[in-house]
Amino acid sequence: MPRKFALLAATMLGVSLVITGLSLAADESPLEKQMSAINKKTASIRKATKTVAQWKKDAKSVATDAEAISKIAKESKLDKSAAEKVKKPYDDYAKLMDDMIKAADELAVLATNASSTQPQAKTAFGALNKSCTECHAAYRVEDDK
């Protein structure tokens, strides 16, 4: 290939890779966006409930984060696409969402109560964290990424 064309081809390839990258990023489903948001808040709750010192400092943010998770999960619950994708009952999926909502609500109440202790918060976080794993085991398929 003449050098001029080789350069042109390389440039075009570069451009198309960039475009592919952009469209992949824009390809996140609403559920994936919600899950990413839930995931960030879960990570801060995990950190805030880990030690007594962290808990004393961050109990308030745990309440806010847990409330936010509950709110996002109520939206995710209406989304039937994940159940359809794995051809499993939507009702079971909705129930698993309810388990997460309940666990998040309980943690929010606990975090709002000034007399709650760090071990209690850690246990409540454990229940929330378990609700993620249970749904993922049945409804989260790893597609090719």
Q: Answer yes or no: are the C-beta atoms of 94 and 139 closer than 8 Å.
A: no
Q: For ligand HEC, which is the closer residue by CB, 59 or 82?
A: 82
CA nearest to 90, candidates 76, 100, 70: 76
Minimum separation from the CB atom of position 15 to ligand HEC (A)? 26
> Cβ neighbours of residue 27 under 8 Å, at least 6 residues apart?
none
Minimum separation from the CB atom of position 11 to ligand HEC (A)? 31
Residue ranges that bind ligand HEC, judged by CB under 6 A: 29, 31-32, 35-36, 38-39, 42, 69, 82, 93, 96-97, 100, 128, 131-132, 135-136, 139-140
Minimum separation from the CB atom of position 13 to ligand HEC (A)? 27
How far is it, in rounded angstroms, from Cα 67 to Cα 65?
Answer: 5
Minimum separation from the CB atom of position 120 to ligand HEC (A)? 18
Burial class of residue 122 in the structure, from the number of CB atoms within 10 Å of its CB (0-12 exposed, 13-18 middle, 19+ buried): middle
Q: For ligand HEC, which is the closer residue by CB, 50 or 140?
A: 140
